[in-house]
């Protein structure tokens, strides 16, 4: 979107071809359609009925795509008030059940009482380099099911430091972005 207001399309499921209004916000970087298509092809066998967490949600395209494809619920976390408002409006307009929006930053949200999620979308603003601290909070805070899947977006040449029990399952690149799906292999051993 390059900082311009616009619309993006949901590409599959019950909300297929629905458009999301995207506010004009600096640094907002919606996940491109072809990346979402690849990701949701990977997730197809496991998306139905999952509880998902969309950290640093931005437009909410990843979480709304998950709802469209059968996720039981998605908790969206977005620190920017305008983006959170646009996300709530998009969810209401699309009549997408199962979506809830928390207007707070991801680290603060993860300091709260944990709920377990089987799928997490972690696509923080690249300049803030939040991958390692958010991953640590997710892993140590009781937010993940034993076999959770975690989607991570980062700059193409950056391999974030993630917990040792998050095993890379699939990955790809598009433009300047690296995207990867990790599978959690139980709890980290206590040190």
Cα separation, 68 vs 64, whole angstroms: 6
Taking the model in full, what pTM does it have? 0.91
Q: Let me know: does 90 contact 20? Beta carbons within 8 Å.
A: yes
The predicted model gives 98-120 an average pLDDT of: 96
Q: If pLDDT is split at 50, 70 and 90, which confidence band does 118 have?
A: very high
Mean pLDDT is lowest, of 90-94, 145-149, 156-160, 177-181, for 156-160
* 102 pLDDT higher than 70: yes
Mean pLDDT of the chain: 90
Contact 114, 132 (CB under 8 A): no
Question: pLDDT per residue over 56-82, tens digit each?
Answer: 999 999 999 999 999 999 999 999 999
What is the share, in percent, of the chain residues with pLDDT greater than 70? 94
Provide the pLDDT for residue 128. Answer: 82
Cα separation of 33 and 8, whole Å? 8
Quickly list H helices, the chain.
33-43, 61-68, 81-94, 106-109, 131-140
Q: Is the pLDDT of residue 188 over 60?
A: no
In three-state secondary structure terms, 63 is helix
Average pLDDT for 9-36 = 84
Cβ neighbours, 10 Å, residue 149: 24
Asked whether the predicted pLDDT for residue 21 surpasses 70, the reply is: yes
Domains of the chain and CATH, by start: 6-184 (3.40.50.150)
Give the Cα separation of 184 and 174 in Å (integer).
Answer: 24
Distances (CA, A) of 3 to 24, 97, 139, 143: 6, 29, 33, 32
| Position with higher pLDDT, 84 vs 2 | 84
Distance from C-alpha of 157 to C-alpha of 184, rounded to nearest angstrom: 23
- Per the CB < 8 A criterion, the answer to whether 29 and 175 are in contact is no
Write down the pLDDT at residue 165. Answer: 95
Please give the residue that has the higher pLDDT: either 48 or 20.
48
Average pLDDT of span 163-168: 95
Is pLDDT of 1 > 70?
no
Residues 72 and 123: their CA atoms lie apart, in Å, by: 21
């Amino acid at each position: 979107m390059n900082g311009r207001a616009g619309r993006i399309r949901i590409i599959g499921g019950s909300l297929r071809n629905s458009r999301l209004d995207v506010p004009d916000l600096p640094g907002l970087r919606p996940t491109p359609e072809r990346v979402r298509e690849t990701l949701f092809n990977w997730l197809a066998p496991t998306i139905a009925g999952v509880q998902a967490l969309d950290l640093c949600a931005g437009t909410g395209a990843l979480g709304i795509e998950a709802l469209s494809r059968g996720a039981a619920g998605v908790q969206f976390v977005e620190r920017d008030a305008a983006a959170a408002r646009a996300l709530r409006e998009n969810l209401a307009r699309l009549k997408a059940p199962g979506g809830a929006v928390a207007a707070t930053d991801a680290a603060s949200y993860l300091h709260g009482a944990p709920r377990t999620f089987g799928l997490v979308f972690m696509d923080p603003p690249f300049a803030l380099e939040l991958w390692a601290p958010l991953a640590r909070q997710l892993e140590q805070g009781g937010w993940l099911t034993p076999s959770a899947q975690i989607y991570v977006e980062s700059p193409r040449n950056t391999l974030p430091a993630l917990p040792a029990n998050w095993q890379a399952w699939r990955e790809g690149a598009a433009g300047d972005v690296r995207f990867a799906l990790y599978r959690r292999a139980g709890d980290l051993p206590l040190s």
